[in-house]
Amino acid sequence: MEPRVDVITLAVADLERALVFYRDGLGLATRGIVGTEWKGDDDNAAGTVVFFELAGGLMLALYPDLAKDANISAPPASGAFSLGYLVSSRNEVDALLARAEAAGATLTESPRERPWGIYSGYFRDPDDHLWEVIWNARAG
């Protein structure tokens, strides 16, 4: 694993409220709410999200459906979050999740395609912190 975090995803109960807090309250620039074309269904979380591009290529995401996407139980406004780590192939997603599991992590969600074009899975570290390992097929 390279020493990187690519995405910090914050679970939010009310996306509009969170957007107003970070954009208007703290002054972070954003394109606003995107991904509304992915409505979610029984199998898939919705894709609606807010992104802030941070220094160094880091992304901050506000995401109402993190708990469903990660297959964790978390009440709204729980402070749940995930750290996202990008890799460059499907095999690398599988390999890193396997490595994490071998090291004592728990897989909450086996890797799979998501409607918005990524392949990802989630693990929890021994203290319950959530990581998503992501291959963005569209980025090659």
User: Quick one: which of 33, 83, 98, 107 contacts a copy of itself (CB under 8 A)?
Assistant: 83
Query: Can you tell me the distance from the alpha carbon of 66 to that of 124, in angstroms, rounded to the nearest whole number?
Result: 13
Check binding of 80 to a copy of itself (CB under 8 A): yes
- Residue 33 CB, nearest approach to a copy of itself (Å): 16
Check binding of 38 to a copy of itself (CB under 8 A): no
Query: Can you tell me the distance from the alpha carbon of 134 to that of 34, in angstroms, rounded to the nearest whole number?
Result: 19
Q: Which is nearer to a copy of itself, 17 or 112 (CB)?
A: 17
Burial class (CB in 10 A: 0-12, 13-18, 19+), 21: middle
Q: Where are the beta strands (DSSP E) in 17-117?
A: 33-34, 49-53, 59-63, 81-87, 106-113
User: Quick one: which of 34, 36, 37, 54 contacts a copy of itself (CB under 8 A)?
Assistant: 54
Rounded to a whole number of angstroms, the distance between the first and last alpha carbons of the chain is: 19
Q: By the criterion CB under 8 A, which residues form the site for a copy of itself?
A: 1-5, 8, 10-14, 17-18, 21-22, 24-29, 52-58, 60, 76-81, 83, 99-100, 102-105, 124-130
